[in-house]
């Protein structure tokens, strides 16, 4: 009898996912080009599980039962194609290759088509939850061929996180839907992280809170309706002492943010299919801007800022920053989810938004109690185009909007950069405005380029010969 599954790529994520699969009673073979990683895999194996590590890709493939179900956990891009190049000649019709990395969805579409020519199934599945999630229960976003999906569904349900007994995995749709949903998950992750960093900056610079006080504030925020994984880890970060110097580690970390690309892809995608997601756009651009450390230092000397006028009532200020963060977070989810609605139409994914928010409730990086509210909203109306249109969500929004305005105003007055908070407010105000001033933009376009316009009072396309005003 061959092994149930195979895993190629035994880095931290691949190895942890493999152990998780083995813990759930499935036998699994592991392979990596790096002999050290193969040895490390063997060292972590317990007698209770059925795990084998193989030295060559040929041995690896030969060890598996048919149809072979092979999971790839290798870096996105060229490494995936390199693995497929050596792997696919060894496979037989009906075998399934499952890419569990953060692959770009268009790469997945291409690979699905390439492997289909060889009668092989290729699936892209999003896995979120970091190293710990992979080991103990991630959120899993599978997409692709439905028949192939059914063969791996029991395993995915077994290894994923659980919320109220529900597995945090569900079929996300056709083709590259799994990678797409994971990409948008990461875009939302970027947006929320940006907002949290701005709240931190406002409390630190605006209200002079130290790390102990920040810990207390985040602890309180995380214990109520704002409860989320990202707030929880933020709380803990403020407690972490530095190993190398006196004081807290967070204060020693250089303010240049890294990025591996999924946030940028989300923004590019939204532009491509015409969806407005300014919170994700600004989160991406903020990370880019953060890298100009030397220039920022120079500019800060040229444009020195006035001293910050501390809020009159610190407690009220903290409360309002918290509510602003909460509302801006809702608005960020709203943008990402709206992108998924449009993408599902555009690419015929047939993604169920209700299932998306359901499986994001646990295991993933953007899990939060808010997702439960979104789940209720999509249960009432599965065709909801934007969660801001839901009655219950709108009630929450209405109670927090003045805090978002006050916080944005405080930041603007005091020169504290808040691209995320300002974007959330700007999006909200535009989205909730019946008549925008783009009538003027249409007039200008028609004036200089005869681009035509539509009218509010009658059907049709119009062009005017605009008159230069006589001075
Ligand atoms: C997850 C994370 C994971 C990874 C991010 C980091 O859901 O588990 O999103 O996929 O940590 O891709 O992205 P950046 O390096 O671009 O911040």
Name the residue of 189, 267, 268, 288 whose CB sits within 8 Å of the most ligand 1 atoms, as the mutation to test its pocket.
Answer: 189
Question: What CATH number should be reported for the domain holding residue 96?
Answer: 3.40.50.720
Total residue length of the chain = 471
Ligand 1 contact via 320 beta carbon (within 6 Å): no
Instruction: Assess whether 145 and 220 both reside in one domain.
Output: no
Would you call 386 helix, strand, or coil by DSSP?
coil
- For ligand 1, pick from 100, 103, 262, 356 the residue to mutate: most ligand atoms within 8 Å of CB: 262
Distance CA 88, CA 55 (A): 18
Answer yes or no: is the C-beta of 262 below 6 A from any ligand 1 atom. yes
Q: Residue 127: inside a domain, yes or no?
A: yes
Rg of the chain taking only CA atoms, in angstroms: 25
- Provide the number of structural domains found in the chain: 3
Other Cβ atoms less than 10 A from the Cβ of 167: the count is 21
| Dihedral sign, Cα of residue 156, residue 160, residue 164, residue 170 | negative
pLDDT digits (tens, 9 = 90+) for 300-347: 999 988 899 999 999 999 999 999 999 999 999 999 999 999 999 999
User: Token pair of 345, please?
Assistant: 């139409």
**Residue whose C-alpha is closest to residue 155's, from 105, 73, 93, 98:** 98
Nearest CA to ligand 1 atom 4: 130
Annotation marks residue 182 as catalytic: yes
| Alpha-carbon gap, residue 334 to 396, rounded angstroms | 13
User: Do 186 and 167 sit in the same domain of this protein?
Assistant: no
Asked whether residue 101 falls in the same domain as residue 226, the answer is: no
User: Which residues, 6 or more positions from 204, have their beta carbon under 8 angstroms from its beta carbon?
Assistant: 214
In short, whether 186's Cβ falls inside 6 Å of ligand 1 is: yes
Residue whose CA is closest, atom 14 of ligand 1?
A: 259
Atom of ligand 1 nearest to the CA of 102: 10
Same-domain pairing of 379 and 445: no
- CA atoms of 152 and 160, how far apart (whole Å): 12
Domain of 73?
A: 5-171
Question: Are 57 and 191 in the same domain?
Answer: no
Token reading at 158: 């077994």
Please indicate, yes or no, if residue 20 is contained in any of the structural domains: yes
Q: Are residues 140 and 204 in the same domain?
A: no
Judge if 412 and 458 occupy the same domain.
no
Question: Which of 395, 398, 393, 363 lies closest to 380, judged by CA?
Answer: 393
Q: Model pTM?
A: 0.96
Q: State which ligand 1 atom lies nearest to the alpha carbon of 129.
A: 8
Question: Is 177 domain-assigned?
Answer: no
Q: What pLDDT does residue 337 have? A: 98
> Which residue reads 């700007």 in tokens?
426
Task: Assign residue 455 the CATH number of its domain.
Answer: 1.20.5.320
Atom of ligand 1 nearest to the CA of 263: 16
Residues 99 and 220 in one domain: no
26 lies in the same domain as 166: yes
Question: Are 15 and 45 spatial neighbours (Cβ–Cβ below 8 Å)?
Answer: no
Read off the pLDDT of residues 77-125 as tens digits, 9 standing for 90 and up.
999 999 999 999 999 999 999 999 999 999 999 999 999 999 999 999 9
Report the nearest atom of ligand 1 relative to the CA of 139: 7
Question: Ligand 1, atom 11: nearest CA belongs to which residue?
Answer: 130
- Among 51, 62, 64, 67, residue whose Cα is nearest residue 10: 51
Phi, psi of 74 (to 5 degrees): -125, 160
Catalytic residue among 182, 354, 358, 400: 182
Whether residue 364 has its Cβ less than 6 Å from ligand 1: yes
Kindly state whether residue 176 falls inside one of the protein's structural domains.
Answer: no
CA dist 284 and 460 (Å) reads 39
Among 171, 191, 208, the domain-final residue is 171
Are 463 and 350 in a shared domain? no
Q: Is 0.90 exceeded by the ipTM?
A: yes
- Residue 373 annotated among the catalytic residues of the structure: no
Shared domain check, 460 and 414: no
- 377, 419: one domain: yes
Category of 9 on φ-ψ map: left (φ > 0), alpha (ψ -120 to 50) or beta: left
The answer to whether residue 116 sits within a structural domain is yes
Q: How far apart are CA 402 and CA 348, in angstroms?
A: 39
> How far is the centre of ligand 1, averaged over its atoms, from the C-alpha of 259 (Å)?
8
Name the nearest CA neighbour of 269 among 357, 371, 181. 181
Question: Which atom of ligand 1 lies closest to the CA of 130?
Answer: 8
| 258 CB near ligand 1 (under 6 Å) | yes
Marked catalytic residue, from 68, 69, 189, 373: 189
Give residue 1's pLDDT. Answer: 79
Please name the residue whose Cα sits nearest to atom 10 of ligand 1: 128
Reading the chain (471 residues) residue by residue, the pLDDT tens digits are 799 999 999 999 999 999 999 999 999 999 999 999 998 888 877 777 799 999 999 999 999 999 999 999 999 999 999 999 999 999 999 999 999 999 999 999 999 999 999 999 999 999 999 999 999 999 999 999 999 999 999 999 999 999 999 999 999 999 999 999 999 999 999 999 999 999 999 999 999 999 999 999 999 999 999 999 999 999 999 999 999 999 999 999 999 999 999 999 999 999 999 999 999 999 999 999 999 999 999 999 999 888 999 999 999 999 999 999 999 999 999 999 999 999 999 999 999 999 999 999 999 999 999 999 999 999 999 999 999 999 999 999 999 999 999 999 999 999 999 999 999 999 999 999 999 999 999 999 999 999 999 999 999 999 999 999 887
Query: Ligand 1 in contact with 365 (CB < 6 A)?
Result: yes
Distance 76 CA to ligand 1 centre (A): 12
Domain boundary among 171, 202, 224: 171
CB distance 189 to ligand 1 below 6 Å: yes
Q: Is the Cβ atom of 131 under 6 angstroms away from ligand 1?
A: no
């Amino acid at each position: 009898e061959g092994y149930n599954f195979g895993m190629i790529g035994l880095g931290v994520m691949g190895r942890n996912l493999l152990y998780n699969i083995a813990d759930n009673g499935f036998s699994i073979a592991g392979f990596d080009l790096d002999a050290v990683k193969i040895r490390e895999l063997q060292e972590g194996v317990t007698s209770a599980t059925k795990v084998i590590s193989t030295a060559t890709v040929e041995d690896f493939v030969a060890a598996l039962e048919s149809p072979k179900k092979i999971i790839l956990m290798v870096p996105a891009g060229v490494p995936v194609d390199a693995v497929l190049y050596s792997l696919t000649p060894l496979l037989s019709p009906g075998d399934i290759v499952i890419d569990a990395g953060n692959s770009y969805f268009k790469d997945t579409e291409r690979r699905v088509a390439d492997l289909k020519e060889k009668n092989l199934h290729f699936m892209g599945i999003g896995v979120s939850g970091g190293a710990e999630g992979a080991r103990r229960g991630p959120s899993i976003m599978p997409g692709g061929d439905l028949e192939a999906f059914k063969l791996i569904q029991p395993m995915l349900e077994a290894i994923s996180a659980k919320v109220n007994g529900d597995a945090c995995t569900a079929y996300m749709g056709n083709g590259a839907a799994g990678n797409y949903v994971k990409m948008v998950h990461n875009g939302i992750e970027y947006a929320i992280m940006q907002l949290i960093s701005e709240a931190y900056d406002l409390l630190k610079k605006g209200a002079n809170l130290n790390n102990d006080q920040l810990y207390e504030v985040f602890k309180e925020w995380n214990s109520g309706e704002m409860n989320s994984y990202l707030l929880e880890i933020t709380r803990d970060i403020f407690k972490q002492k530095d190993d190398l110097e006196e004081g807290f580690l967070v204060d020693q970390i250089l303010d240049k943010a890294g990025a591996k690309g999924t946030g940028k892809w989300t923004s590019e995608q939204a532009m491509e299919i015409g969806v407005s997601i300014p919170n994700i756009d600004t989160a991406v651009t903020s990370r880019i801007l953060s890298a100009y450390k030397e220039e920022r230092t120079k500019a800060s000397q040229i444009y020195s800022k006035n001293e910050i006028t501390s809020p009159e009532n610190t407690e009220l200020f903290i409360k309002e920053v918290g509510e602003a963060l909460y509302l801006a977070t809702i608005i960020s989810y709203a943008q990402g989810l709206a992108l998924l609605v449009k993408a599902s139409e555009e690419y015929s994914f047939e993604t169920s938004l209700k299932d998306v928010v359901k499986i994001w409730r646990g295991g993933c990086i953007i899990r939060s109690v808010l997702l439960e509210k979104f789940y209720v909203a999509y249960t009432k109306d599965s065709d909801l185009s934007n969660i801001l249109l839901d009655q219950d969500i709108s009630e929450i929004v209405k109670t927090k909007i003045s805090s978002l305005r006050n916080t944005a105003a405080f930041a603007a007055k005091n020169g504290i950069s808040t691209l995320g908070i300002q974007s959330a407010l700007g999006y909200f105000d535009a989205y909730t405005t019946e008549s925008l001033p783009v009538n003027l933009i249409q007039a200008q376009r028609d004036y200089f380029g005869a681009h035509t316009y539509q009218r509010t009072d009658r059907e049709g396309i119009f062009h005017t010969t605009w008159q230069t005003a006589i001075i």
